[in-house]
Structure 1
Amino acid sequence: MRNDAQGTPPAPPADQEPAPRPDRRGVAADVGASLVVFLVAVPLALGIAVAAGAPLTAGIIAAAVGGIVAGLVGGSAVQVSGPSVGLTIIVADLIATYGWQVTCLITLLAGLVQLALGAFRIARAALAVSPAVVHGMLAGVGITIALAQLHVVLGGEPQSSALANLTDLPDQIVHNHTPAVAVGVVTIAVMFCWARLPGFGRFRPALVPAALVAVGAATLIATLGRWEVETISLTDSLAQGWIGPALPAAGQWNGVMLAVVTVAMVASVETLLSAIAVDRLHSGRRVMLNRELCGQGAANAVSGALGGLPIAGGMVRSTAGVRAGGHSPLFTILHGVWVLVFVALFAHVVELIPMAALAALLVFIGVQMVSVAHLRDLRRHHEAGVYLVTLSGVVLLGLLEGVFLGFALAMVVSLRRLTRLTVTTEERGGRVHITVHGSLTFLGVPRLAHVLRTVPAGAAVDLDLHVDFMDHAAFEAIHAWRVDHERTGGSVDIDEVHERWYERSTLRSAPAAKTAPRGLARWWAPWGMRGGAGPEEVNPLGLLAAGAREYHASTADRMRSVMSRLSHGQNPTALFITCADSRVVPNLITASGPGDLFTVRNVGNLVPPPDSPGDDSVGAAVEYAVALLRVPSIVVCGHSHCGAMKALLEGAHLDPDSTDTSHMRRWLFHGSAGLVRAGERAGELAGLPTAEALRRLAQANVRQQLAHLMLHPLVRERVESGELELTGMYYDLETARVHLLDAATGEFTPVQGVHDVADPVPRPRPADDPGQPLEESSGASSRPSS
């Protein structure tokens, strides 16, 4: 089993809680991060409570419960939960419609709904909502809150709708010039400028939350200047005592249940999207979505029962915590504790905060919720229209109406994409080339059928299907046309570039006629086999550019989420040492992907002994992979028809007169021990066919390089402790089969595929070679591997 640097066991699966580790530095970092998040959470919670028209204690309760309960039960290592800006409009409308106590009941029931969703493990279903709708909703909420709170900053009162707030704004700007305006301007100015200030020595402004500095500066200026501004009345709110949930009137239950579902869905989607986004900020345990949803449900149920606001995970608090060094749920839990302790001991300090400062804080956060980066990204994916429609609907019509419009438009856009099909035709070399791009469904059959009907009878046709999906109607249309065309003397070669939709359906349908496939235009095929271009027609630069364009067109978008996660660091499964031969493709023959193999390629897949003079690149890669990346496996892979092995057989490493290939001669000398292992000194290779001699030498070379690896002290130490495994591999180019070195027999045996039958012919056991360290048995099969 692979261990980390401290000897601790590997991380448990994603659905299990990792065992706690006594890391004092980690605990100290979490404590510091909890203080930073607490300083952000208090003014944010009070501001949201004020904006929603809820008791101030409701924001404090939600902040404390979100930190403690969601931190203890939730599935994210670093997400911080609390009262949500995105739910402010919903809560304000609920309070106006049903009153505060019924709103508490709605929060409690929404939490139970979230618990049920998490228990039934359908958290990922919430992510089915288009991100364009979610980001548009949040942007619309941000604009609505900013417009409302801007009136408070200007010394006035917010209106009943965003449109009314917008139309009344000029009058507020012209006539209101109270100290509250100065407080709001100071708060916004500090929020805007704080992170942009240069550092002073070791001090960096980014280490101190901008929200704390802004509200603190505004409070200090207003207090010292004795400005007459409205401040927070937290004592009065605490004096009212506990105000918990209550049942609604008999005729209100339908509206209440709709509100429960709305709060649960909005809070869940916002939380899960935020959790996934926060995961990009750290390299620790990834979020467990269903558990996180259960944690949010438990927090909302407790918050509603205690008289608190609805809770959701948020980027503002989470980002502040991660940047401050938080890396475990401990800092989220502690921040909730600090909220309770601070309010209990320093309520009089909170009462110095001007209301205009909290309103200005919400104005700034609301404007930030309109993310230009999200809009730019959605524009690249042709979903900016959904974002803008949702945003406009939320601002002009209301939250539910805007989300409904955005969701409806997203469905229309998705349906349109199903019909988006590109069919191109050209004649080349006496053949008709038809290329189909897109999703091939019944909606695109009319367009494809129209093109196919234009093909002349008896023509030779190449049909390239660059499709990510093909339904039965599309298959029937293509297959029926193919059969008819071949009956009239034509030929059809169907080439599927990405997935074999047509071929799978053909095997089930048993076609009446079938032409032999050429096997061209496969993603794994050489450039020269795509489109019939001969070697003399190959333009390397043009092929590279064309390959990059094909990658961007068909693969880059699918790779983005994978590479985004891998961009934070690598954790490869193996160090893979193989030949630089262009015919050997490590990721192809091992069916591995990005981040799986730490690959070293050189002429002859050689590993010089650690004390060898000259090139240190292989040794550096071995040290980096074993000491820092802590790979559990090292693989040395040779192959048939190896040019380096042929040069060794011909004695190129011994030619002192070779000047044009002096580097290669010196490098191949590291493979001379493989000649001895293969029996070259005893004359065992003499008289053998060249292919057989090369096979024996290539396989003996793999064994020898494994022996060279064992000469590295770090490698030997890890192998002997069981932390590292060495593996030999051999790739036969003619049969495209992979062979693995059997540690018991010292012989290479082919890997058995799903449809393979084990080779019944016993292979001779090689003679032992006692002169070499671990895995040193030499010898080879008396017949070629196949």
Structure 2
Amino acid sequence: MSTDTDQPPRTSLPGLAGVIRHDLPASLVVFLVSLPLSIGIAVAVGAPVAAGLIAVVVGGIVAGLLGGSTLQVSGPTASLTVVVAESINQFGWPATCFITVLAGGLQILFGLSRIARGVLAIAPVVVHAMLAGIGIVIALQQVHVMMGGDTLTSSWDAIVGLPRQLASVHPGDLCIGLIVIAILIGWRRVPEPAGRVPAPLIAVVVATLLARVLPVRVEHITLNGSLLAELHLPQLPHGGWAQVALMAVTIALIASVETLLSAVAVDRMRQNSARRTDLDRELLGQGAANMVSGAIGGLPVAAVIVRSITNVKAGARSKASTMLHGVWILLFSVALVDVVRSIPKAALAGLLIVVGIQLIKLAHIRSARRTGDLVVYAATVLVVVFWNLLLGMVVGLVLAFALLLWRVVRVTVSAERLDERRWRVLVDGSFTFLALPKLTAELHKVPAGSDVLVEMTVDFMDHAAYDALRDWAELHRSEGGTVEFVEVGAVRMADAAHGPAARGHSRHLLDEALGPWRRHPGDVDRIVAGVAAYHRSHAHVMRPHLGVLRDGQEPDSLFVTCADSRIVPNVITNSGPGDLFTVRNVGNLIPRDAQDSSMEAALIYALDKLHVRSVVVCGHSGCGAMGALHSELVTGSQLDDWLAHARPSLDRFRLGHPVAAAAAAAGFGTVDQLGMVNVAVQLETLSAHPVVRRGVEERGVVLSGLFFDIASARVIEVTVDGIAEIDGVGRVAQPA
């Protein structure tokens, strides 16, 4: 599957039939969503109304044509409202257009330097908090407009001025604004097909009609002449170039981050599509659009997640949709200027209040609280609301980095008494010289002559920490005590003694669990080496669990698999002691008609005595039994008699079993295809077995088949009809 680094998406548009069938209807839906929002954002920042419409046209046509995304929709965005309003207030509108051109140039540099993936490294909690802060600022500003007042640049002034604004509220504007908010909130409950009409369009149309009949004054937006008459050339600002550069960088960063996050979201919605967004090319397209928009008097442009998702859900298939939506905005702005002039300001204020509030996601707040990032979230929001957006982003990133650093270097050290003579010392985390004060304080609690168990779950250890712990252990032993080290983490004390400090690797844990011989190539008796490693690393963890199981077992599954040494059932099923009642034989066979007393005993004991809830048959790739069966090898030994039980699997394979066809389509070889068919045939044998059938009927016992592909370490589900992948979150994905 191609990625953004393999090749850029194709820019050629689909055939005319595809455009008419899919992209034309989608473009009309996006046009109806973008129109009121773009006008509202222009009014909110204090720019000419035409600036918002120009930005939509340029975003749709230029960014749509040149960008790296197929379905993203670009235009003026609420996330830039605060910054653009501040720029207009500080430098004026013509100079802000020049700043927009500069920001577009920076985005082109971002795209050429291929740093798009790096921008996504910004901590999500900071991005979420920035958007929430922007939403609060928008809502505070637009509340005054909805009540007939003016937009205030300071959030503090907006809060302090609310009582005064309430005392001088304009009833008509307030009524219009509240009606718009009510429609936007309640429209989601309207059944289809009416519910498919965009709520912002319905709200603005209703508000415009009401403004004509209400017996009170309602303020409307101002648009002098047509869209073409509103085109303005940018002007150079008068001094303050450092602040101009800072403003351009801020706009470029925010527009780029929102664009990239939107691209990732759209790609996730289209998981089955091979055409992923070329993120660097997308920044080039956005930069070009911002340069054009600023050059002709438009607002800054970014890809907008809401409109992009709307485009996808509306059925768009290509760039034609986003480009056509820009064309519809252009035609509307040139031909229907009087319609724009009739829209009440309070209607757009109500629309933006809802948009602002929607930027505050309760799910993001819960996530920040759950992950311990609530301080970062709250601090970023407060700085964005009461100072400015760039400072809020800097504060959020600094706090996020400080919190990350604290978590990385944090270590837990504790000493506890187990009984009169025994003590346990726990060391968990990154074990560095920073932990020495805490380590010495805890070790001081341990009395001389006691027996000490030191449990270490450490992912990093420097030499200072190693020396301190080793010296204490030697001193404690010299005073008549004992010290036993249990190293569970990825770092070993031996590593710290013989090499530079380095962060541990999880392979240590796999070596401890599965292959002690990997670390002891000179050991004559690998079993003894493995037992020693088990006692050192895992026995103390297993002891409490096995203590519960010492009087009996209650396994969940009967697991029938091959005797092949490469299959470790508990590892590939992520299960532990007491979970699997395992039966192994050559070829994972279940002889029919009770021809094997050992298998019969296992089935009866597992189902009637242990009451397992599932029976699993697991085959594997490169199976010697299946290879011998397929080649019809004759050894003249009892192996021939045993493999005769698998003869039905070979016959079904040669007749064209559906599992074999599915395995062949997935690229498996002939012997592995036979191995999968064998699993399916054993499942059929199980379903006909009286003991198993009774368990299925009376207790709902589940039969399932697995196939372990050794080369890729994948576990594949096998049914009587086919095969399927099992992905990392446990759900069954598409058929392999």
Does TM, scored on the shorter chain, surpass 0.5?
yes
Deviation at 1:375, TM superposition (A): 0.7
446-455 or 481-490: bigger deviation: 481-490
Where does residue 234 of structure 2 map in the other structure?
245
CA contact (8 A) 1:706 1:726 kept: no
**Structure 2 residue 718 is matched with structure 1 residue 728:** no
| Residues 705/347 of structure 1: CA separation in 2 closer, same or farther (3 Å cut) | farther
> Which one of 249, 264, 277 corresponds to residue 276 of structure 1?
264
CA contact (8 A) 1:65 1:336 kept: yes
- Once residues 418 and 318 of structure 2 are traced to their aligned partners in structure 1, the CA distance between those partners, rounded to angstroms, is 62
- Alignment of structure 1 residues 733-744 onto 2, 5 Å: none
| Residues 725/420 of structure 1: CA separation in 2 closer, same or farther (3 Å cut) | same
> Which one of 108, 133, 145 corresponds to residue 140 of structure 1?
133
> Which one of 55, 74, 82 corresponds to residue 81 of structure 1?
74
CA contact (8 A) 1:117 1:293 kept: yes
Deviation at 1:441, TM superposition (A): 4.0
Where does residue 548 of structure 2 map in the other structure?
537
CA-based RMSD: 5.0
Q: The residue matched to 2:429 in structure 1 has which SS?
A: strand
Where does residue 254 of structure 1 map in the other structure?
242
**Structure 2 residue 62 is matched with structure 1 residue 39:** no
Q: Deviation per CA, 1:363-408, whole angstroms, max 9, x where unpaired?
A: 1111221222111110101111221222222222333343344344
Deviation at 1:468, TM superposition (A): 4.6
| Residues 180/443 of structure 1: CA separation in 2 closer, same or farther (3 Å cut) | same
- Once residues 392 and 355 of structure 2 are traced to their aligned partners in structure 1, the CA distance between those partners, rounded to angstroms, is 21
**Structure 2 residue 363 is matched with structure 1 residue 373:** yes
**Structure 2 residue 8 is matched with structure 1 residue 17:** yes
| Residues 176/287 of structure 1: CA separation in 2 closer, same or farther (3 Å cut) | same
Where does residue 218 of structure 2 map in the other structure?
229
| Residues 289/438 of structure 1: CA separation in 2 closer, same or farther (3 Å cut) | farther
Q: Deviation per CA, 1:480-510, whole angstroms, max 9, x where unpaired?
A: 656766788855434234x346565455369
Identity of aligned residues (%): 40
CA contact (8 A) 2:414 2:427 kept: yes
Where does residue 314 of structure 1 map in the other structure?
304
20-29 or 273-282: bigger deviation: 20-29
| Residues 170/675 of structure 1: CA separation in 2 closer, same or farther (3 Å cut) | closer
| Residues 530/257 of structure 1: CA separation in 2 closer, same or farther (3 Å cut) | same
Amino acid of the residue matched to residue 160 of structure 1? Answer: T
- Once residues 648 and 18 of structure 1 are traced to their aligned partners in structure 2, the CA distance between those partners, rounded to angstroms, is 59
Amino acid of the residue matched to residue 165 of structure 1? Answer: A
Where does residue 64 of structure 2 map in the other structure?
71
| Residues 238/227 of structure 1: CA separation in 2 closer, same or farther (3 Å cut) | farther
Where does residue 373 of structure 2 map in the other structure?
383
Deviation at 1:190, TM superposition (A): 0.5
Where does residue 485 of structure 2 map in the other structure?
493
Amino acid of the residue matched to residue 202 of structure 2? Answer: V
> Which one of 194, 204, 222 corresponds to residue 187 of structure 2?
194
> Which one of 7, 21, 25 corresponds to residue 28 of structure 1?
21
- Once residues 676 and 648 of structure 1 are traced to their aligned partners in structure 2, the CA distance between those partners, rounded to angstroms, is 23
Where does residue 413 of structure 2 map in the other structure?
423
- Once residues 537 and 662 of structure 1 are traced to their aligned partners in structure 2, the CA distance between those partners, rounded to angstroms, is 22
Q: How many residues align?
A: 631
Where does residue 154 of structure 2 map in the other structure?
161
Deviation at 1:332, TM superposition (A): 2.4
CA contact (8 A) 1:118 1:294 kept: yes
Deviation at 1:410, TM superposition (A): 3.0
95-104 or 317-326: bigger deviation: 317-326
**Structure 2 residue 396 is matched with structure 1 residue 414:** no
Deviation at 1:139, TM superposition (A): 1.5
CA contact (8 A) 2:72 2:322 kept: yes
TM-score by length of 2: 0.72
- Once residues 542 and 341 of structure 1 are traced to their aligned partners in structure 2, the CA distance between those partners, rounded to angstroms, is 76
264-273 or 102-111: bigger deviation: 264-273
- Once residues 521 and 244 of structure 1 are traced to their aligned partners in structure 2, the CA distance between those partners, rounded to angstroms, is 78
CA contact (8 A) 1:578 1:602 kept: no
- Once residues 707 and 21 of structure 1 are traced to their aligned partners in structure 2, the CA distance between those partners, rounded to angstroms, is 52
| Residues 602/451 of structure 1: CA separation in 2 closer, same or farther (3 Å cut) | closer
Q: Deviation per CA, 1:464-485, whole angstroms, max 9, x where unpaired?
A: 4434544565455556656766
Q: The residue matched to 1:438 in structure 2 has which SS?
A: strand
237-246 or 119-128: bigger deviation: 237-246
Where does residue 102 of structure 1 map in the other structure?
95
Where does residue 447 of structure 1 map in the other structure?
438
Q: The residue matched to 2:152 in structure 1 has which SS?
A: coil
- Once residues 752 and 323 of structure 1 are traced to their aligned partners in structure 2, the CA distance between those partners, rounded to angstroms, is 36
- Alignment of structure 1 residues 545-556 onto 2, 5 Å: none
Deviation at 1:56, TM superposition (A): 1.7
CA contact (8 A) 2:563 2:585 kept: no
Amino acid of the residue matched to residue 496 of structure 1? Answer: V
- Once residues 369 and 181 of structure 1 are traced to their aligned partners in structure 2, the CA distance between those partners, rounded to angstroms, is 23
**Structure 2 residue 341 is matched with structure 1 residue 351:** yes
- Once residues 314 and 29 of structure 1 are traced to their aligned partners in structure 2, the CA distance between those partners, rounded to angstroms, is 21
CA contact (8 A) 1:74 1:291 kept: yes
- Once residues 540 and 266 of structure 1 are traced to their aligned partners in structure 2, the CA distance between those partners, rounded to angstroms, is 63
344-353 or 53-62: bigger deviation: 344-353
Q: Deviation per CA, 1:234-287, whole angstroms, max 9, x where unpaired?
A: 3436364431222223x3222111112111122222333333344444424444
Deviation at 1:154, TM superposition (A): 0.8
Where does residue 117 of structure 1 map in the other structure?
110
Amino acid of the residue matched to residue 325 of structure 1? Answer: G
180-189 or 18-27: bigger deviation: 18-27
373-382 or 462-471: bigger deviation: 462-471
- Once residues 465 and 277 of structure 1 are traced to their aligned partners in structure 2, the CA distance between those partners, rounded to angstroms, is 41
> Which one of 252, 260, 274 corresponds to residue 264 of structure 1?
252
Unaligned runs of 5+ in 1: 1-9, 546-576, 593-600, 605-638, 687-692, 732-748, 754-786
Where does residue 775 of structure 1 map in the other structure?
none
Where does residue 85 of structure 2 map in the other structure?
92
CA contact (8 A) 1:439 1:467 kept: yes
Deviation at 1:117, TM superposition (A): 1.9
- Once residues 483 and 730 of structure 1 are traced to their aligned partners in structure 2, the CA distance between those partners, rounded to angstroms, is 60
| Residues 719/492 of structure 1: CA separation in 2 closer, same or farther (3 Å cut) | closer
Deviation at 1:345, TM superposition (A): 2.8
- Once residues 488 and 493 of structure 2 are traced to their aligned partners in structure 1, the CA distance between those partners, rounded to angstroms, is 8
- Once residues 307 and 275 of structure 1 are traced to their aligned partners in structure 2, the CA distance between those partners, rounded to angstroms, is 26
- Once residues 712 and 267 of structure 2 are traced to their aligned partners in structure 1, the CA distance between those partners, rounded to angstroms, is 39
| Residues 644/404 of structure 1: CA separation in 2 closer, same or farther (3 Å cut) | same
**Structure 2 residue 365 is matched with structure 1 residue 394:** no
CA contact (8 A) 2:461 2:491 kept: no
| Higher helix fraction (1 or 2) | 2
Where does residue 556 of structure 1 map in the other structure?
none
Where does residue 684 of structure 1 map in the other structure?
636
Amino acid of the residue matched to residue 168 of structure 1? Answer: G
- Once residues 487 and 534 of structure 1 are traced to their aligned partners in structure 2, the CA distance between those partners, rounded to angstroms, is 34
**Structure 2 residue 210 is matched with structure 1 residue 210:** no
129-138 or 357-366: bigger deviation: 129-138
**Structure 2 residue 286 is matched with structure 1 residue 342:** no
Unaligned runs of 5+ in 2: 502-519, 521-527, 575-579, 676-708, 714-736
